[in-house]
Structure 1
Amino acid sequence: MSKINITVPFDAEKLSALDFCLEKENDSAQKRMEQALTELYEKTVPEPLREYLDSKAAPATSKPKRPARQSASKPQPAPPKPVLPAVPISDGKEEKLNG
């Protein structure tokens, strides 16, 4: 839902004093006014209408999201094949060594 600002006329010195006193409680007139307006809304607007407005504001989640595409990165090189030790091929004739 989009938000709007509400302007309420109020004496500047009184607002300054109010903020000064609320600051000790880590609060502000702005926060208190937002809380009061929310309470007024919940007290005044019927629940079915509030639920309708909330459902209208919630993003539709009926469709599952598609997985994100992978960025075009360099292809991964294939792992090197294991190197086997060279074994001489015998033709059936064995040579005698030193003997």
Structure 2
Amino acid sequence: MGSSGEPMVYMKVMEVHGEKIVAICDEELLGKKFVEGELVLHINEEFYRGQLVPLSYAMQRAWEATILNLVGENTVNAAIKEGLIHPDAVIRIAGVPHAQAVRMLY
């Protein structure tokens, strides 16, 4: 938790082939791997470790993304509240919520 009691998240912003990819995960999930049957969710440090920021700041930056990759209760719930992700787009692997979104910008 940040000084204001707000959850902290790891956020990485990447520009790849004209896309702006924003990856956000709950702080405590970084580097962990979750397995459920055939499904594996690896919160890879190389992909997710960027800045450790307050959740509200990460949600502001998420609006800039053409591709969003989100993991964790705090992150996914905030994205749903913001209207970035539809609740039906969330999958859970070993209980951990994960969502991806692609936005077409014209």
TM above 0.5, one fold? no
| Higher-strand-fraction structure | 2
TM-score normalised according to structure 1 size:
0.18
Structure showing the higher helix proportion among its residues:
1
TM-score (norm 2): 0.17
Larger relative contact order, structure 1 or 2 (CA cutoff 8 Å, min sep 6): 2
